[in-house]
Structure 1
Amino acid sequence: MKKTILSTLPLLALAACASAETEAPIAVRIANASPAVSVTARGETTPVGTANADAADDPAIWRNAANPAQSLIVGTDKKAGLYVYGLDGKTRSFLDAGRVNNVDLRDGVTIGGKPGILVVASDRNDVANAKLALFSLDPATAKLTARGKVDGGKGEAYGVCLYRASDAVYAFIVLKDGTIHQVALDASGATATGRTVRTMKLGTQAEGCAVDDRTGILYVAEEDVGLWRFDARANGSTAPVKIAAADGKNIVMDAEGVAIAPVGDRDGYVIVSSQGDNAYAVYRLTDDSYVGRFRIIDGAIGGAEETDGIDLMLGDFGPAYPGGIFVAQDGHNAAAAQNFKLVAWDDIAKALNLTR
């Protein structure tokens, strides 16, 4: 969800005027928040096609193991459809899919009888009836092919993330009211099918989510409340456990996109977009402890502000991103339409002094 930023009035006057009913200006929010280190982007995508609107939203990364520099990024224009970008930021393809909000993918999924790259987007073309829109991604042509839609429940589709378990591939679809449905997906036949296996609930508006396939843990951002984790297993508990509050310190409302950096068998980090002050908060997976915060500031390439969706993948992505890549939606891309900024994980790790 995009916020309007006010920054033209003197800080003290704005601070005095701020109330519980009025969102504090960006200068006040930054002053009250925990310190954040700075990094700069090494790349950016071409802007989405919808201009003068809050349109770009969420990215998903596919790594080309055979040729990492030829990896791809899928990004949503939530007013129009799905883009596929190369790591050079250039648009490789666009598919008119209508109002798709968030996106995730998994490689090696059986699609139409053979292994492929499954891409799933939260489809809110009908705001009263959520859908999961399924696609296959051809890595050679960078084109998406629609594979059908499955029911995501009553309400407006918002967030989505995938979970590859031993028994199935699941999608978690986060509805705007905080309802979360876990849907078992089957794309092996001519038409994709899905079956809701259980439902979880947060109290207010939620969107960003990510699943750690190693540990079977689902992470969800409740925008004005904070970051939660759930047991992602289909037979697991539906009770949420709070990791961090959106209290204006480490996470400044809104808590938005969520991404995971897995390290080893169980360790690593979960990152959440602190949209309220243009930052990203980092927590350790093993004990939920706070690690630090960073911002993407202007450099040779512009910074990122008001970030909705994020994605992160470690590993070799070629000379520009040898240790991994972090992709963040930029909600204020100067005079152009919104786009996505590409940051080297090595730069983030160095800035935060992450040793592992």
Structure 2
Amino acid sequence: MDIRLFRPGALLPAVLLAGCVTASKPPKPYLPATEVPALAETDPVGTGNADAADDPAIWRNAADPAASLIVATDKKAGLYVYGLDGKVRDFVPAGALNNTDLRTVRMADGSSRILVGASDRTDKAEPRIALFSLDGARAKLTGLGSDSFLPAGHAPAEAYGFCMGAPLAAGELARAYVVLKDGTVMESRLVERDGAIVPEYLRKVKFATQSEGCVVDDATHTLYVAEEDVAIWRVALKAPVLAGEAVAHVGEADGLVDDIEGLAIARDAGGRGWLIASSQGDNAYALFDLGTGKFAGRFRINGGAIDGTSDTDGIEAVIGDFGPQFPEGLFVAQDGDNAPQAQNFKLLSWREIREALGLR
């Protein structure tokens, strides 16, 4: 089942005036934000002198929180595993993996597995989902294959954003969402078949322009998608037809300066939750209360012994105990300018973000 979203004026043709001089674009606004320092950073990705680091995911080790892990993409080369000290624990050369997500799934034999997925755009005409198994104790990744999920007859397309959500029907391990570069979001279910985990296409929703960041709120079975120059959209996943409802727009009222990039959900043990968005255009992060839908504040990563961030693509947040340095939770953000080294990821304490923004 498909639906396409339009806004007033979306179908008007663009008019180009030959011989006219186009005025330079005005600078993007730099909106107020509270500064919060990074407490740690990862080793740089291996691809230097390029836009390479992109998107992180967090695995919390409940038995030993300080031994938790971060999985993150070098979108030119593959997938990294980092410890909370920022040191590389593993790297898998796996091609052009753009966005990543992970979750613990229950297999048919009753065992559990830390399943890592990523949007694979190694072939820019045939989007794929690359899957891996993460050994939390050894901090090692094992490749499970990369499979196409496009339905028969679909036009060539480039995989871009990626996120996973809880299963919504019997026999599923999880739901997977790939955001194509043209704004189409493809929903698949991940299932076991002949000893392998594979995606099976289900349905899609189409946004009007380029989109990438996405995240699923399992508590409400809601998908959030960032249409980069326009808005954050909310999609009810249990509805018979996927449809988008705008919840925040580019502009000062919602604290967002285009591009809107990575999205993350942070929920505490009491059920209180926040949607976090990378306001890439002014190097900041905007929060929205998931209970009220209201804008809840903005922060920038700056100050302290570690440099700040700029041009952030992917982000991730998990509330919970991550050891003495991150006692209430962990926030991870890609840094688009880590000069003179290659790009990397910055680690922040959720407690410091919460206190800085007065979140209760």
Q: Tell me the TM-score normalized by structure 2.
A: 0.88
1: CA distance between counterparts of 2:115 and 2:95? 19
Q: Which residue of 1 aligns with 2:17?
A: none
Q: Which residue of 2 aligns with 1:91?
A: 88
Residues 111 and 23 of structure 1, relative CA distance in 2, 3 Å threshold? farther
Q: Which residue of 2 aligns with 1:164?
A: 166
Matched, 1:50 2:52: no
**153-162 vs 72-81, greater mean Cα deviation:** 153-162
Residues 201 and 266 of structure 1, relative CA distance in 2, 3 Å threshold? farther
**105-114 vs 39-48, greater mean Cα deviation:** 105-114
Q: Which residue of 1 aligns with 2:213?
A: 208
Residues 85 and 188 of structure 1, relative CA distance in 2, 3 Å threshold? farther
1: CA distance between counterparts of 2:121 and 2:24? 29
Q: Which residue of 2 aligns with 1:239?
A: 243
2: CA distance between counterparts of 1:277 and 1:298? 17
Q: Which residue of 1 aligns with 2:187?
A: 182
Answer whether contact 1:266 1:286 (CA < 8 A) is retained.
Answer: no
The RMSD of aligned alpha carbons is 1.8
Residues 317 and 268 of structure 1, relative CA distance in 2, 3 Å threshold? same
**194-203 vs 272-281, greater mean Cα deviation:** 194-203
Q: Which residue of 2 aligns with 1:346?
A: 351
Q: Which residue of 1 aligns with 2:68?
A: 71
User: Gaps spanning 5+ residues in structure 2: where?
Assistant: 1-20, 151-155
CA deviation string 1:74-120 (max 9, x = no partner): 00000000000000000000000000000000013428873110000
Shift of 1:37: 0.6
CA deviation string 1:3-52 (max 9, x = no partner): xxxxxxxxxxxxxxxx9875544xx521xx3x211100000000000000
Q: Tell me the TM-score normalized by structure 1.
A: 0.89
Shift of 1:298: 3.5
2: CA distance between counterparts of 1:111 and 1:300? 47
1:193 is aligned, of 190, 198, 206, to 198
Q: Which residue of 2 aligns with 1:152?
A: 149
Residues 316 and 266 of structure 1, relative CA distance in 2, 3 Å threshold? closer
> Any idea what SS the aligned residue of 2:354 has?
helix
> Any idea what SS the aligned residue of 1:347 has?
helix
CA deviation string 1:159-217 (max 9, x = no partner): 11100135231001100000001100014752222211111111100001100111101
Shift of 1:236: 3.6
2: CA distance between counterparts of 1:67 and 1:253? 39
Answer whether contact 2:167 2:189 (CA < 8 A) is retained.
Answer: no
2: CA distance between counterparts of 1:327 and 1:336? 18
Q: Which residue of 2 aligns with 1:10?
A: none
2: CA distance between counterparts of 1:111 and 1:56? 34
2: CA distance between counterparts of 1:162 and 1:332? 28
Aligned length: 331
Answer whether contact 2:40 2:85 (CA < 8 A) is retained.
Answer: yes
Q: Which residue of 2 aligns with 1:276?
A: 281
Q: Which residue of 1 aligns with 2:311?
A: 306
1: CA distance between counterparts of 2:270 and 2:67? 27
CA deviation string 1:263-308 (max 9, x = no partner): 3565310000000000001001123111110000142111111000
1:293 is aligned, of 295, 298, 301, to 298
